Each structure stands twice: as structure tokens, then as C-alpha cells.
Amino acid sequence: MKVIKRNGSEVIFDITKIIVAISKANDAIEEEARLTPMQIRRIAEAVELGCIRMNRAPEVEEIQDMVEKQIMAHGAYEVAKKYITYRYTRNLVRRSNTTDDKILSLIECCNEEAKQENANKNPTVNSVQRDYMAGEVSRDLTSRLLLPEEIVKAHEEGIIHFHDTDYYAQHMHNCDLVNLEDMLQNGTVISGTMIERPHSFSTACNIATQIIAQVASNQYGGQSISLTHLAPFVQVSREKIRAAFKRELEITGVELSEEKFDEIVELRLRDEVSRGVQTIQYQVVTLLTTNGQAPFITVFMYLGEAKNEREKKDLAIIIEETLLQRYRGVKNEDGVYITPAFPKLIYVLEEQNIHPDSPYYYLTELSAKCTAKRMVPDYISEKKMLELKVDKNGDGHCYTCMGCRSFLTPYVDENGQPKYYGRFNQGVVTINLVDVALSSGGNIEKFWKVFDERLELCHKALMCRHERLKGTLSDAAPILWQHGALARLEKGEPIDKLLFGGYSTISLGYAGLYECVKYMTGKSHTDPSATPFALSVMQYMNDACKKWKAEHNIDFSLYGTPLESTTYKFAKCLQKRFGIVPGINDKGYITNSYHIHVTEEVDAFTKLAFESQFQALSPGGAISYVEVPNMQQNLEAVLQVMKFIYDNIMYAELNTKSDYCQCCGWDGEIVIEEEDGKLIWKCPKCGNTDQAKMNVARRTCGYIGTQYWNQGRTQEIKERVLHL
């Protein structure tokens, strides 16, 4: 069994260390109040058994908590007092160099928490280590100097989660909807170099990847671009190819029919589109931004955005090529095609592509094939989105999220025109709904009282995020604020006007609705008798956002938090504060946002239909999923799910597996097993457990992860049931 030390490194559990620690406290008191050696041994064995029952690697702090409780359970209160005093004294000494220890453990690659913090970061790489080191300094500054003590305490206790403290010291935000159209059509500046309107599709794709990298290095969350903004350059290349081909024929004296001429032009154009799309795919997966990972980029594919029929047909060509290349995958270092994490793809289901007789149904069939093998694209229903995303004029709109799920709210500019590209999210603070429920003890009146207190904490924390951005000058990130990605402000101009009036959003996240409802009602929120309470909790948070928006003229929006590593943190904090409550906090994770619990047996269609009502109450972002087996030989079922998504839910995805063992060539599912109290990944064919010698891709919480997960998230992945 492994133990996680305070600096994040792992060591083998050693019962003698517990015996020695208790013995020291025991020897420091009067002899008549001391424990016997046998009692000390029993206490240590009880703690060891408690650690084994956790089914994960315990932290040192958790072990010490258990030691205290066991000593007191034996009635040895004087011994307990000495043990607690010694522990407190050691903690005071330790505080002075905690940041130093963490940074050193990062450099030596022995910090297990850092290794599993982000499923798309490799902590052995220098650039990732540099980012994590800077992050530790930022966290230290944030907790000591920048945030109010009550917010820091609530964050540390898992009452709320103040996201991205490792970037808070800088004046940065998290998510963007990049205005690629403006930057390509009107030019931009990258690293002081003027980039003019491109003269070919392939050049436009190359510029797009440079923009993606620059944007990723100036914020810390997801960003999205639309393929529609690249579509006009297909015609630019077509005309260029036609002119060049015509010159070739004149020089050679060859004569071709107009039909054959056009056919060859289109073939050459397809080659250029293929090269351009390949540029985006390979640049994105091979670029390392300043935060040490590939850019967290989402690519949006929506035929309905095209301005005319010619552009729509050209957009369809780009979408087709994008899907074909993602289906193929990218080669790993052994030359085997595997599933890349990015770019994340979103395909809009619309009347032009959803029915077998629709003109672009072939793209939908290709999407189904790609999803079955590579887990993307994910799907947005134009039909449902137009119903849910309605602006002040009563018009519905369909647009992409920023990254994996963060959605902007509808916005109409001063000219009465809807605007989405060029907008952003200021940041996120998440409320732990399970904590609210457990703190109430099941008393409904106390629940709403505690809920109000917790929401006010989130309100204060969100205003800290907002105030941190206020006064930021456009010079801080010229690519964002001066050169078109988000705005075209003057040099030295504050970004403040973009923080108010709904231009940008700020998100109240939430987690653990399932456990919250189950504790308060005794039933899953899928039970018809408990669903109304679940919906009332969602509405309560929306009402709070509405009140704050009216107070500050800032667009607060409710957001279904992905909880990548925080799911584990929240679970541990709940266990520490409330003990083990069966069925509520007895696992190493809590449930993402409004989702049905991963172990609950439910079919795909029932799950999507049920969760759709919660998406409507999560305007700042949400995504639903269905867990499926290998569907490559059952594409008709995938298409049925996609049709159901179109009719019933705004945004959803299908989760499958896509793995490869580099030791034996196994390309089936890499399984999760328990070994020495720790969950590990293992090849079922050759038994390989070296994560560096296998490629595993899993949908973590809206996007694909490829660098492994902490023990809580790994347990959640292991326990997922299939919905088809």
C-alpha cells in the first residue's frame, strides 16, 4: 500500500512509523496514563485497516487524523493531547518551506499529485515542470496575500473550489471564443510581426495554428475556433489554382474541356485542403505552449454559419477532411495510429445533415464512424440550442462552447447584432453541493440556510476574480486585446469595458448534485419523487446568479464544473469533515455537475432525456455523455443516438475506449486493476503496467485525456457502466 506525503511524493506504508509516533507521545506523559505496547500496536493496526478500506493511497494527514481518533477511542486523552500538540508544532515548522518542498519534488518527478493533476500534461517534461513550479509560487502568493482568508479556508476545506489558483497571481482569464474571422480577414500581429490576410487556404490554416498557440499562452483555459472562418479561403485557393493551371496549359499547349479543367482544379484544391487540415491537426498536437501542454483547442463544424451556398460547400469539404484525418488518428513514436486529445471537435446536428435524405448526411455518417473510433466529434443540436440560447430580441442562436463546455450567454451588441466570437469567460468558482447537504444534517431548513452562506462565499470569490482582471491593460496580452482575438483596443487601454454588460461571463460552478439530492431525500435525483428537489437546487443557483448580475452588471452564469482532479479533492475533504457516509462520500470521487451517477444502470436514451432538463438550467456550460462499448461495427446505433441528441438535448458526446500497448501491440481496452491499495492501468494481454509504454485515451469530463488521472478520477472511470 502506498502513502502520499505532503510534498506529493509516494512511499510504501510503514506501520512502524505510526507505532513510533504514538510511542513518543505516550512516553511524554505520566506513567499511569500511558497506553500499553499492545494497545499501541492495536491502534496502529486499526489505522492500517482503515487505510486499506479506503481503496486508494491515503495522504499523511488522513493517516494522522485516524491515529488521533483511535487514540481517543482507547480513552487515552492525555496521549492524544500530546500527539496533537506535536503534530501542530511540526506543522508550524513545515509551513515555512512547504512551497520549496513541493517545487523540489516537481523537479525530481516524485510528486504524484502533480503527475495526476492534468490528464494532458506530462510532468517529466521541463516546460510542464516550469509551469507547475510557477503555479506553486502563484498558489503561495494567492493564499497568503491575494485572497481573503475566508475564501482560502473554504477552498482548502473543499467547501468551494477557487479554480486555477496557479494562474491567479497574473491578470489572466480562462476561456475564449476566438474571433478568427476578424484576424484572418483584417490581419493581425503575432510577436510584433504583421500578418496580413492570407492568399491561400493552407496559409490561412498555418496562421490559424499560430494564433491558437499565442492565445493558449495568454490564458489558461479552453479556446474555440470555427472552421467557417477558414472556408472563404478555399475559394481564394481555388481561384489561385485555376490561374496557375491555366498558365501551365498555355505553356504546354495542352487543351482540355472545361469539365476536365474544373475536375483537375478541384483535385488539386482537395490536396491543398488536406494539407491545410493536416497542418492544424499536427501543429496542435505537437505544439507546447507556455503552460507545458498542447493548446486546449476546440474546432467547431457548423454548416449553418456559412454566408452563402458556395461557402457552405467549401465548408463541407473542410469538415469532411477534418473528420477523415481525425478518424485516421496520429502516429505515436512507434508509428502506430492512436487517438490524440486535441483538437476537440464539435459537429452541429442540423436539418441539412440529420436525415438520410439531407444533402450533407454523408458528413453525419462520417462523424458517426469517427466517434466510434476516436470519441470525437461531440454533438450540438442546432434545434435544441436555438430553443435555449435566446437573446433579448427573442432570437435563438447556435454557437460553440469555449473549450470543453463553457458557454457564453446570448449577447446583442450596440448595433443590435448578435456577437459571440471575440468574447470570453473571466473565471470559475465551484460550490460543493455535497458539503451543503452534509452540513445541514439532512434538515431542509438548515440546508437552504447553509446554501445561502456557501453561495455568498462563491459570490465574494467570484468578485475577487473579477477585481483581479479590472484595470488590466491591453498590453498584457496584445494578441487577445489589441490584435483581434478578443478585441482591438488601443495600447495602454484597460480591458474593463469588456468585463461588464454581458460581453464576458463569469461562472458559478457546481458539483455533486446526485450526492446532494440522495443525502437530502434518500433517493437518486433520477427518482421522480426526488427530481423536483434537484431542479429546485439548480434554480436556486440560477436565481443567485440573476441577483448578482443585477447588482454588478456582470454576466454571472451557472456552469456544470468538469471537476478533473477536484473530484478527488472534494471527496477527501468530505471524508475528513464528515467521516464516511455510505452512498454519499464513500468513494474517491463525487459526481460531475448534474450527471447521473456513473454506477447507475440506465440506457443511453433515458440518460440523455433526463439530463436535458438540467442542461437548460446550466446556461454557463454543461455537457452530457453516454458510455458505450466498441461501436465500430454498429454505426447504425451511433446514428440513432445522434438523432436522439438532435431532438432532445443541446450538447452531448459518446464515450468509448481507444488504447494501445507499446510492449505487445494490444489495441483493445487497457484495464484498471488494484495493486497494493492503488489503482493501476494494466495491459490484459502482456501485463504491462508501465504508463510510459502504453497509450490510453479516456473522456475525462468533456474532453479526452491521455496522461492519466488521480486515484479518485481513476476509480470513477473504472466504475462507469455502459449505457448501450
Over residues 276-331, the pLDDT tens digits come to: 999 999 888 887 655 556 788 999 999 999 999 999 999 999 999 999 999 999 98
Annotated active-site residue in 66, 404, 458, 573 = 404
Compute the distance between CA of residue 538 and CA of residue 556 in angstroms, rounded to an integer: 14
Domain boundary among 295, 314, 342: 342
Domain presence at residue 369: no
Annotated active-site residue in 7, 200, 425, 507 = 425
Annotated active-site residue in 559, 625, 646, 651 = 559
Annotated active-site residue in 51, 172, 175, 375 = 175
* Catalytic residue check, 402: yes
Q: In this structure, are 28 and 52 located in the same domain? A: yes
The CA-CA-CA angle for residues 600, 601, 602, to 5°, reads 110
Nearest residue to 608 via CA among 643, 647, 648, 559: 648
Q: In this structure, are 188 and 315 located in the same domain? A: yes
Cβ-based burial of 576 (10 A; exposed 0-12, middle 13-18, buried ≥19): middle
Q: In this structure, are 262 and 330 located in the same domain? A: yes
Over residues 214-273, the pLDDT tens digits come to: 999 899 989 999 999 999 999 999 999 999 999 999 999 999 999 999 999 999 999 999
pLDDT beyond 90 at 440: yes
**Quick one: CA dihedral 703, 706, 711, 717, positive or negative?**
positive
* Catalytic residue check, 175: yes
* Catalytic residue check, 564: yes
Domain interval for residue 478:
147-174+426-591
Compute the distance between CA of residue 25 and CA of residue 34 in angstroms, rounded to an integer: 9
Annotated active-site residue in 59, 564, 627, 716 = 564
Q: In this structure, are 158 and 72 located in the same domain? A: no
End-to-end CA distance of the chain: 36
Cα separation values, 118 from 4, 241, 708, Å: 17, 44, 8
Q: In this structure, are 212 and 155 located in the same domain? A: no
Write 350-354 long-range contacts (CB < 8 A, 24+): 350/302, 350/303, 350/304, 350/382, 350/383, 350/398, 350/646, 351/382, 351/383, 352/303, 352/304, 353/303, 354/642, 354/643, 354/646
Q: Pick the residue with more confidence: 617 or 124?
A: 617
Q: In this structure, are 169 and 223 located in the same domain? A: no
Which residue has 478518424 as its cell numbers?
327
* Catalytic residue check, 83: no
Domain presence at residue 707: no
Q: In this structure, are 188 and 168 located in the same domain? A: no
Q: What count of Cα atoms within 13 Å lies in the side-chain half-sphere of residue 347? A: 34
Domain presence at residue 322: yes
Annotated active-site residue in 105, 200, 381, 406 = 406
Q: In this structure, are 91 and 160 located in the same domain? A: no
Domain boundary among 342, 372, 392: 342
Annotated active-site residue in 183, 205, 401, 402 = 402
Which residue has 478500506 as its cell numbers?
53
Q: In this structure, are 337 and 295 located in the same domain? A: yes
Cis peptide bond prior to 37, omega within 30° of 0: no
Average pLDDT over residues 392-415: 94
Per DSSP (E only), the strands in 63-112 are none
Domain boundary among 570, 591, 612: 591
Average pLDDT of the residues of the chain: 91
Over residues 441-498, the pLDDT tens digits come to: 999 999 999 999 999 999 999 999 999 999 999 999 999 999 999 999 999 999 999 9
Q: In this structure, are 166 and 271 located in the same domain? A: no
Three-state DSSP class for 160? strand
Report the amino acid identity of residue 95: R
Domain presence at residue 683: no
Domain presence at residue 418: no
Q: In this structure, are 43 and 157 located in the same domain? A: no
Residue 418: the pLDDT is 95
* Catalytic residue check, 464: no
* Catalytic residue check, 702: yes
Annotated active-site residue in 9, 105, 111, 174 = 174
Residue 462 host element (H or E): helix 444-469
The DSSP bridge partners found for residue 301 are 347
Compute the distance between CA of residue 326 and CA of residue 376 in angstroms, rounded to an integer: 8
Annotated active-site residue in 702, 703, 705, 716 = 702
Domain presence at residue 356: no
Domain presence at residue 398: no
Q: What is the pTM of this model?
A: 0.86
Over residues 10-55, the pLDDT tens digits come to: 788 999 999 999 999 999 888 888 999 999 999 999 999 988 888 7
Report the amino acid identity of residue 549: K
Q: In which region does residue 484 sit, left (phi positive, over 0), alpha (psi from -120 to 50) or beta (all else)? A: left
Residue 519: the pLDDT is 98
Nearest residue to 404 via CA among 702, 627, 32: 702
Domain presence at residue 52: yes
- DSSP string spanning 579-614? ---TTTS-SS----TTPPPTTS---HHHHHHHHHHH
Compute the distance between CA of residue 357 and CA of residue 367 in angstroms, rounded to an integer: 16
Report the amino acid identity of residue 55: N
Compute the distance between CA of residue 695 and CA of residue 715 in angstroms, rounded to an integer: 19
Average pLDDT over residues 390-405: 94
Nearest residue to 454 via CA among 139, 161, 143: 161
What cell does 393 get? 430580441
Q: Are 189 and 482 in contact (CB under 8 A)?
A: yes
Report how many domains make up the chain: 3
Q: In this structure, are 338 and 224 located in the same domain? A: yes
